[in-house]
Structure 1
Amino acid sequence: MLVTTHLHRRLVPVLASVLIVFSLTFLYRAYHLYPSDKLSQWPHAAASGLSPTTEPLDEPSDYRAPAHRSEDTCATRFSTAYLEGLRNRTGSYCTPGSRSSLTCFHTKARDDEPDDSFCIGRGAVLDPATRKFHLDCALRKLEPEEVEQGILPFNRLRGYMYDTGPRNVFRDAVIVRQETGLARRSGETAVSEALDAEHMHLPASSDSSDGAPSSVLPPPKTYLLLKREGETNPWHCLMEIFSTYMTFDVLRMSRDPSRGGAPFFATDEADDTQVVILDSREDGPFFDLWTLFARRRPVRLAHLLSRAGNNNADDDDAAAVDAVRRDANIIVPLAGGSNPLWREEWHVQPCHAAPLVDVFSSRIRGFYGVEDPPVRGGEEPIVVTLIDRRETRRLKDQAALLAALGKRGLHIRVQAVDFAALSFPDQLRVARETDVLVGVHGAGLTHVLFMRRGAGAVVEIQPDGLDQKGYRNVANLLDLGYFRIHGAGVSMPVDEADKDTEEEPGKEREMDSLKGVETETQGRDNSTNTSTATGVLKKRGDWHFMDVQVDEARFLDVVETAVKFMYNKALWSYDVNG
């Protein structure tokens, strides 16, 4: 009895201590995930008359929290800390008397570069006269403490290459009122007092004449305003889609005071969201991926406006036009050029954990239903895939090099794949089945993103003089082996160098991650120029437009090194000198 009483007296304080630690830990995590005092930064929080909700936010469930929440470079750029950083630097830009609202989120990927931003506006109306969305928002002056917290003035939002980014989207597609009256200025027409159905020549109702529900979808509530860098280059296109997906993730993780503290964007709102294309580019092979987070099929702004004057509109676009005669939401996403993977292409990042990249890869593969192949090992060969470039930066004597590689007795199966000739889902399947990916530097190496984590290796052949780190960093983030050599540039034959300009004059060529490249103009002579932020690159002598030659012994050596790196991965078990 005495022993029992003694144990009871000792256990009570221990259990009490455990309970206190658990409670404090829960409160600490709750504060950092849902900081209630952030609402005090919002001018409209009190004026709205809405009390913050205590319901949990609709946070993306497919992220896995890192084992530790450090402030190091890897965590702040490639984990959920990047999303949290955006959420925690949020500014409201309209005065309390404004009918519309405008909220922007900011982050800084690198200390030596400007901030990146994205925005969401509520109460927007598309005016056919100006061909722009209007926000009835009188911009307010930021408080000193907001500036100290990193909230950017509206006029400091960034623009990016290829005329993309928030600054350029607002310039081309949105009018934000800056004074009480919307007088004409700079040739812009003021917003009409009421953009009703009659003004916009729209059907009065979406119901059929007999009272039965119409087959036309209900009007979208939210419009993503998109300017693209290109439509065919996989790196550029996927970075834009990646950045936009993170935009929606942050909106789902952030409380909106005007909605009583509910998230800015809930998962089920994707059904009422549509991408509005502002550029005039072709759709391209990645176009359907824009329905990942905005499930209405994308519509071009010019087409949307043209439907406004068409009384016979009877499809999805009619519903879209019908919506913008009333209040709508607009989202101006993070630019592709702001993506942390883009920003680190010239700097080595020794990071080996990247929840953001893992989730993005999984989402893309899930969208197309691409399943993983069985884990290989035993007597099955290691699959070596060479990216078969067909236009520029081709590997000289490629067939002979692959034939020599096949004779080395390395337990391998070698294949040369022209990714451009495959559908994107098939490209993903090839990437998932590849153990060693080999390629000359270029956008084809974007497929590194979709290789299996910790179960592969990459061989990159860079032209002499290039020291780009982008694909090396991606390989590190996925815990893949990375091996690099340089090859000599070889001028393309004149007829092949000019083939693209003869067949496709004016078409923008693949820029393959060249930092600072803006546009390209093509002519029919031999001096096609590439306009950049720092000058003009000539086709002749520029590595972008040259083939690459590597000595056979060096090629075999680097690929064999990558293959032997795989000898004890998965279920294989080979001696490196066996």
Structure 2
Amino acid sequence: MAGPIRLNRKYSILSSAICLGLVIVVYYMYCVGELPKFFSGNFNEGSLRQSKPLTETKDDEIALKSPKPPAATASLPVDYSPLTFSESQQKCELFFTPAYLKHIATHQLPYCESESLSAFQCFTAPRLTIPMTGGWGQTDPLCIAQGVSFRPEQQTGSEQEFGIQCKLRDLAAERANSSDVATELEGFRDRPTDWGWYWGDTGVGASLKTWKFENSGDIEGCTREKSDSKEWVMLMRRDSTDTHNLWHKLMEILQARHSLDAVRIAINPATGTPWLSDEDAAHVQLVFDDDREELLEPLWEIVTGKKPIRKSSWERAACFGNVILPLPGCGSPFWSNLLDTGYPEACPSQTLLTTYVHRIFEFYGVVQRPVTEIHKHPTITIVERKENRKFVALDRWVKSLKERYPQSPINVVDFASITIQEQIKLAQSTDILVGHHGAAMTHIIFMAPGATAVEILPRHFDQHSFRSAAAMRGVNYIAGRCMHKEEYENAVNGTPFPQDWTPPTPQGFNHWQNEEWTYLMDEDFLGLVDAAVRSQMNKLGSSDS
């Protein structure tokens, strides 16, 4: 038995030697770069070669790439399929995202017969209808007039200043003759002047009157094909009812800019190109029909990139190739949403409002506060009103807040006393903004995402006000309610209620805007601010910023 055993042992030693030799050969070939290709997919080069730093790697020593994954994948579970949009989400998409501008661009109609020497093309913006604006219709107009003559009133000696050669289509007859045409014409009025009254006497219908447009027949030398000026002009009829209301003025500027943006993406059926080219957009001149110096006067530059001028400065006759009559400011979907009495879902999409706020920041040179900047001791800003809706015990409340939060900066500010730029910067640095419902609460849109707004609402006020704007900007929102004066006096001073007094109904309490004082119990006001402070401090976690 000894012989076979010694023989097996010899074979075993020989096999081991052969294997060891193969390993040495393979390793040598690898080191000199001659590893056979069929090995290339079976080794992790990084695990074998560790001696050379990356900076010394030669071209032929580049690490082997992992195989490219296939483009296709298996299906996800059905739970991941897009859910059907709710009505609120559909409204969000239509009114507060670029879909709003695309809708305007794709809903246009010529009002003049094709043989007319001038043209009048109108577009319609979708309207967020609420009871307060139900009489305005379902859409808002934006129009372009082409081939428009202008002569200053002092030259004509008459009321007419703008002349247009337009034979209006009979849209009423067209609707009556065809149900298909009637469907296509939905949202358009029979005549441009039918788009009449808006707040502040604004909108296309009012503009045609205030700018004194006349369909004046033949005007030699001024047609849409032959105008002595290729300059685009936007004729702006501003709301004169509240010239220093921040929200009103912001919405006017927003809708003017929306008008320009929509015309830039709308396709002119006659040319197949955008109505307003990028080159032409740089030369649009905005013109006011008034000589007022209003709030936010310089900010109007963000509409066209140029300073507006006044109609009163036009001293020469002209023939304009393109004249824009913009959307009314009060037609802004954000305006309507502010006044809505419902509670829509928060909009998950990037909103037009965010784009607008970024444009304002850029104009005023305001650097946006990083979302990651969280303050250990939140800055509290309280809006102080000087004429009406004043907080009844503000001094006492501020003293209590300073005792509760001694390290928190507490600002009591009348926004009307500082510049717009200072207002925006203050809003950016504020963690908690507290104020009664009014124009000053507009500053919610300028706050950093993650900040908190506390809005005190009138006793009977069904609109959800700035809550939706706060949601769109990522700002937390807390609301409180006032008391009636009689309720406050009874609770605080024990004053008996007047004989036969009953709380006014919502319908009978419409004078809240002119009330001198806003009544809240100490614990109610302080409790709202406490909740906002806790909301901010809860964001810190382990951070100690």
- Per the normalisation by structure 2, the TM-score is 0.69
Larger Rg: 2
Task: Tell me the secondary structure at the aligned position of residue 458 of structure 1.
Answer: strand
- How well do the aligned residues superpose, as a CA RMSD in angstroms? 3.2
Give, in angstroms, the shift of residue 537 of structure 1.
10
Give, in angstroms, the shift of residue 220 of structure 1.
7.4
> 1:164-194: CA deviations, max 9, x gaps?
11110012214252xxx73xxxxxxxx7535
Is 1:364 the counterpart of 2:393? The answer is no
Match of 2:120 among 102, 106, 109: 102
Match of 1:119 among 131, 143, 152: 143
Residues 375 and 571 of structure 1 are in contact (CA less than 8 Å); yes or no, is this contact kept in structure 2? no
Is 1:468 the counterpart of 2:463? The answer is yes
Residues 369 and 429 of structure 2 are in contact (CA less than 8 Å); yes or no, is this contact kept in structure 1? yes
Distance across 1 between alignment mates of 2:276 and 2:454: 41
Partner residue, 1:382: 378
**1:566-577 alignment runs, 5 A limit:** 566-569=536-539, 573=543
Is 1:564 the counterpart of 2:515? The answer is no
Partner residue, 1:34: none
Residues 432 and 532 of structure 2 are in contact (CA less than 8 Å); yes or no, is this contact kept in structure 1? yes
Partner residue, 2:22: none
Is 1:328 the counterpart of 2:327? The answer is no
Give, in angstroms, the shift of residue 122 of structure 1.
1.4
Partner residue, 2:340: 346
Distance across 2 between alignment mates of 1:419 and 1:408: 25
Is 1:156 the counterpart of 2:194? The answer is yes
**1:161-560 alignment runs, 5 A limit:** 161-177=199-215, 182=217, 192-194=219-221, 221-229=231-239, 230-258=242-270, 260-280=271-291, 282-304=292-314, 307-308=315-316, 325-344=318-337, 345-347=339-341, 348-353=343-348, 354-374=350-370, 380-409=376-405, 412-453=408-449, 455-488=450-483, 542-560=512-530
Residues 90 and 151 of structure 1 are in contact (CA less than 8 Å); yes or no, is this contact kept in structure 2? no
Give, in angstroms, the shift of residue 248 of structure 1.
1.1
**1:29-68 alignment runs, 5 A limit:** none
Distance across 2 between alignment mates of 1:471 and 1:480: 10
Give, in angstroms, the shift of residue 78 of structure 1.
0.8
Taking structure 1 as reference, are residues 421 and 124 closer, same or farther at Cα in structure 2, changes over 3 Å only? same
Distance across 2 between alignment mates of 1:243 and 1:378: 34
Residues 376 and 537 of structure 2 are in contact (CA less than 8 Å); yes or no, is this contact kept in structure 1? no
Give, in angstroms, the shift of residue 349 of structure 1.
2.6
Residues 257 and 304 of structure 2 are in contact (CA less than 8 Å); yes or no, is this contact kept in structure 1? no
> 1:357-397: CA deviations, max 9, x gaps?
10011111111111123556576421111112122211122
Give, in angstroms, the shift of residue 297 of structure 1.
2.4
Distance across 1 between alignment mates of 2:320 and 2:374: 62
Is 1:75 the counterpart of 2:93? The answer is yes
Is 1:135 the counterpart of 2:164? The answer is yes
Partner residue, 2:17: none
Residues 195 and 326 of structure 1 are in contact (CA less than 8 Å); yes or no, is this contact kept in structure 2? yes
Distance across 2 between alignment mates of 1:435 and 1:289: 26
Give, in angstroms, the shift of residue 68 of structure 1.
13
Give, in angstroms, the shift of residue 549 of structure 1.
2.0
Distance across 2 between alignment mates of 1:484 and 1:71: 23
Is 1:147 the counterpart of 2:182? The answer is yes
Taking structure 1 as reference, are residues 275 and 74 closer, same or farther at Cα in structure 2, changes over 3 Å only? same
Taking structure 1 as reference, are residues 551 and 332 closer, same or farther at Cα in structure 2, changes over 3 Å only? same
Taking structure 1 as reference, are residues 285 and 572 closer, same or farther at Cα in structure 2, changes over 3 Å only? farther
> 1:460-505: CA deviations, max 9, x gaps?
11222223322111112223211111223569xxxxxxxxxxxxxx
Taking structure 1 as reference, are residues 255 and 68 closer, same or farther at Cα in structure 2, changes over 3 Å only? farther
Partner residue, 1:517: none
Is 1:91 the counterpart of 2:109? The answer is yes
Task: Tell me the secondary structure at the aligned position of residue 300 of structure 2.
Answer: helix
Give, in angstroms, the shift of residue 252 of structure 1.
1.2
Runs of 4+ in 1 over 6 A off after TM superposition: 67-71, 535-538
Where do 5+ consecutive residues of structure 2 fail to align?
1-69, 74-84, 487-506
Residues 270 and 293 of structure 1 are in contact (CA less than 8 Å); yes or no, is this contact kept in structure 2? no
- Amino acid across the alignment from 1:116: D
- Amino acid across the alignment from 2:380: V
Distance across 2 between alignment mates of 1:221 and 1:69: 42
Taking structure 1 as reference, are residues 537 and 277 closer, same or farther at Cα in structure 2, changes over 3 Å only? farther
Taking structure 1 as reference, are residues 111 and 441 closer, same or farther at Cα in structure 2, changes over 3 Å only? closer
Distance across 2 between alignment mates of 1:176 and 1:383: 57
Distance across 2 between alignment mates of 1:227 and 1:346: 25
- Amino acid across the alignment from 1:334: L
Give, in angstroms, the shift of residue 545 of structure 1.
3.6
Taking structure 1 as reference, are residues 134 and 69 closer, same or farther at Cα in structure 2, changes over 3 Å only? farther
Give, in angstroms, the shift of residue 237 of structure 1.
0.2
Structure with higher helix content: 2
Taking structure 1 as reference, are residues 171 and 536 closer, same or farther at Cα in structure 2, changes over 3 Å only? farther
Residues 165 and 219 of structure 2 are in contact (CA less than 8 Å); yes or no, is this contact kept in structure 1? no
Residues 389 and 514 of structure 2 are in contact (CA less than 8 Å); yes or no, is this contact kept in structure 1? yes
Residues 341 and 470 of structure 1 are in contact (CA less than 8 Å); yes or no, is this contact kept in structure 2? no
- Amino acid across the alignment from 1:468: Q
Distance across 1 between alignment mates of 2:214 and 2:160: 14
Distance across 2 between alignment mates of 1:420 and 1:472: 23
Taking structure 1 as reference, are residues 254 and 431 closer, same or farther at Cα in structure 2, changes over 3 Å only? same
- Amino acid across the alignment from 1:140: R
> 1:276-320: CA deviations, max 9, x gaps?
21235x21231112221223422222332xx23xxxxxxxxxxxx
> 1:529-566: CA deviations, max 9, x gaps?
xxxxxx9999xx64434221211111110111112112
Give, in angstroms, the shift of residue 79 of structure 1.
1.0
Give, in angstroms, the shift of residue 261 of structure 1.
1.7
> 1:101-150: CA deviations, max 9, x gaps?
11111133235641211111111111232452222111113444443132
Taking structure 1 as reference, are residues 462 and 70 closer, same or farther at Cα in structure 2, changes over 3 Å only? closer
The share of aligned pairs that are identical, in percent, is 26
- Per the normalisation by structure 1, the TM-score is 0.66
Distance across 1 between alignment mates of 2:347 and 2:304: 31
- Amino acid across the alignment from 2:356: F
Partner residue, 2:58: none
Distance across 1 between alignment mates of 2:289 and 2:462: 34
> 1:22-45: CA deviations, max 9, x gaps?
xxxxxxxxxxxxxxxxxxxxxxxx
Residues 231 and 237 of structure 1 are in contact (CA less than 8 Å); yes or no, is this contact kept in structure 2? yes
